[in-house]
Amino acid sequence: MEDLRVEEENRYIEEIRQSYARFGYIIAISPLLIYFDSFFPSKMGRLNTTFILFTIYALSHYFFIRRYPQRALIPRKILTIVIDIAATTFFIYTLDRYGFIFHVLYVWIIMGNGLRFGPYYLFFSMLLCVGAILAIYILNPFWKARAYIVVYMIATSIVVPLFALILMRRLREKNMELAKLLRLVERQSRIDSLTGIPNRLSFELELDRYMKRRIPFALLFIDIDGFKAVNDNFGHDIGDEVLKEVAQRLDDSIEKGDFLARLGGDEFVVMSRGGEKIVRKLAEDICRRLSEPYGENAEIDYLSASIGISYFPKDTEDEFMLKRYADIAMYAVKQDGRNGYKEYCHCWKGRERKLSDKYRRNGDSNTKSRPSGSG
């Protein structure tokens, strides 16, 4: 839906640009008409009338698409092409040999509409231009006596736009390949390479989005208790498999609309929009699931989870403090024996530093011990 909206907006912008180009066309031929006044005094009345009518139409078309950007999209484009070609044809037909100057406008009409609005409009413009040139050749004796010029005008009206179309398609293909590559790179930069879930960058972006839109949510910091022993006893390959299983169990635990990410090592985070009761139930479910045995023979049965919870905007509206509060709550769980959860309490304010320092001195250091499998 977003891509469709962007595409419609781009088409509208291109139509506006084509209108600006038409105004440039009007400005450019104004001094030419003044110059031709001395050569074709008998024809200037018709030329000036055509020029004025064309200018009125150009202004009307511009204000119409400004006011009604989504109305009569195809008919108004077709009508504009027809009028552009009709006005140009009239100038070429009337001015005889001087009319050849206006032939470049045929190419402008074909390429301008074709490159901006697509190949169908290009071929439609091309057919109309060729038909108009043939009509000039048949109806005007001056041009009938100069068939070689007519052939040249027809050839340039076909070859130049077709060459531009081929070039445009190749550039579009290259742009699509580049856009696809950029999307892949962007996706990889936001996805944890080991577990396949969002990484720290994705978390920071999502957290910023939630807070800017003032979406109430709970922030759950999750640290895996005892993970260092897995690496020490079974090796990093088994540790990677355990982390994948942890990510899968977390993904199975959260509700639709919740956000899960791996911060690095054995640290994970969940953002839940549920109320406090739902968040507590979620934390209990996570603790239960993550404490179940791991491995083919369930030989790893000593892992658990310590979860710290803070609420936005209940606890704070500051991003740094929100993360710090969840972190402090997690430290409190570690101090009380791990395998559980705590919600941040403002009554801890006097002993926050003491609490976190005590955990860092006495708690396990598994969140810092694992360089492999980083997000």
| Residue range 253-295, pLDDT digits in tens | 998 889 999 998 889 999 999 889 999 999 999 999 999 998 8
Q: Per-residue DSSP letters for 285-318?
A: HHHHHHTS-BSTT--B---EEEEEEEEETTT-S-
Question: Of the given ranges (94-98, 282-286, 349-353), which has the lowest mean pLDDT?
Answer: 349-353
pLDDT at position 20: 87
Map residue 77 onto helix, strand or coil. Answer: helix
In angstroms, rounded to a whole number, what is the distance separating the alpha carbons of residues 241 and 304?
16
Give the active site residue among 84, 225, 266, 327.
266
pTM above 0.85, yes or no: no
Cβ partners under 8 Å of residue 244, min gap 6: 194, 195, 196
Average pLDDT, the chain: 83
Q: What band does 368 get if pLDDT is binned at 50, 70 and 90?
A: very low
Verify cis geometry, omega within 30 degrees of 0, for the bond prior to 161: no
Decide if pLDDT at 2 tops 70.
no
How confident is the model at residue 47, as a pLDDT?
83
- Residue 6 scores a pLDDT above 60: no
Question: Model confidence over 185-206: pLDDT tens digits?
Answer: 777 778 888 888 999 989 999 9
Tokens matching residue 173: 């293909």
Class of domain 200-362: alpha beta
3-state secondary structure of 262: strand
- Residue 364 a catalytic site member: no
Q: Would you call 279 exposed, middle or buried from its count of C-beta atoms within 10 A (0-12, 13-18, 19+)?
A: buried
- Structure confidence by residue, pLDDT tens digits, 285-342: 999 999 999 887 778 888 999 999 999 999 889 999 999 999 999 988 988 888 899 9
Q: Each residue of 134-150: pLDDT tens digit?
A: 999 999 999 889 999 99
Q: Are 231 and 369 in contact (CB under 8 A)?
A: yes
Q: How confident is residue 370, by pLDDT bands cut at 50, 70 and 90?
A: very low
pLDDT exceeds 70 at position 173: yes
CA end-to-end distance (rounded Å), the chain: 31
- Spatial distance between the Cα atoms of 49 and 53, rounded to a whole number of angstroms: 6
Cα(73)–Cα(7) distance, rounded to whole angstroms?
A: 14
Per-residue pLDDT band for 366 (boundaries 50, 70, 90) equals: very low
Residue 309 pairs in a beta bridge with 220, 343
pLDDT at 174 over 90: no
The residues of the chain that CATH labels 3.30.70.270 are: 200-362
Cβ–Cβ under 8 Å, residues 278 and 198: no
Lowest-confidence pick of 85-94, 166-175, 216-225, 362-371: 362-371
What's the pLDDT at 8? 63
